[in-house]
């Protein structure tokens, strides 16, 4: 024991384990309340025809982005129920932004820069739905997991809504792939 892990932290100092290695929730009771914000982003690769169908509101199941937005917000609010050691926190705001790309996904949308999340070397010309979820809270712990949960669930809802358009003759989804999910912003400030 005592070796540094990939994060540079000593595994003996992990906040979610006790001296015997048993998993416990971190006690944040003595921490001061602060205003916190986390933003996560990810994307779902899709066929060009699927992006066109979403844009034209031609998906049989209904409004893809409206349904995915509700799913993302619901996921944010219920993160503490699905991730075992997450605290139940007061969510003060959730913002969801969808961007539909008919070519390579890039941070500035011009096709010449790296993506804000992950490496775009393997994106090629794959169209994608990109989802950004911003979460705000006032409390004793951050909201990164809530933002990540919102992104992954929102993209899963999109996938569910477009399954019939994406499915190939063998019943597979050769194009559909969720990728590049990560936290792109995290802030904390004292309350005034």
Q: Which residues are catalytic?
A: 160
Rg (the chain; Cα; Å): 19
110 three-class SS: coil
State the angle between helix axes of 48-55 and 144-166 in degrees (0 to 180), rounded to the nearest 10.
100
Q: Kindly report the three-state secondary structure assignment for every residue of 30-47.
A: CCCCEEEEEEEEEEEECC
Q: Which residues of 66-88 are buried (b: 16+ CB within 10 A; e: fewer)?
A: ebbbebbbebbbebeeeeeebbe
């Amino acid at each position: 024991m005592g070796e540094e892990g990939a994060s540079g932290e000593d595994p003996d100092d992990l906040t979610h384990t006790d001296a015997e290695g048993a998993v416990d929730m971190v006690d944040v009771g003595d921490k001061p309340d602060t205003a916190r914000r986390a933003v996560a982003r990810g994307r779902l690769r899709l066929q060009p025809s699927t992006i066109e169908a979403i844009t034209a509101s031609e998906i049989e199941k209904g409004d893809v982005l409206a349904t995915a937005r509700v799913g993302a917000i619901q996921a944010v609010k219920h993160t503490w129920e699905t991730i075992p050691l997450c605290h139940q926190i007061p969510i003060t705001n959730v913002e969801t932004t969808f961007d539909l790309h008919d070519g390579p996904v890039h941070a500035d949308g011009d096709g010449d820069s790296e993506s804000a999340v992950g490496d775009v070397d393997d994106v090629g010309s794959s169209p994608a739905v990109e989802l950004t979820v911003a979460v705000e809270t006032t409390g004793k712990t951050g909201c990164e997991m809530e933002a990540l949960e919102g992104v992954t669930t929102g993209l899963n809802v999109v996938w569910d809504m477009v399954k019939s358009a994406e499915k190939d003759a063998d019943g597979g989804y050769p194009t559909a792939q969720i990728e590049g999910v990560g936290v792109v912003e995290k802030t904390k400030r004292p309350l005034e």
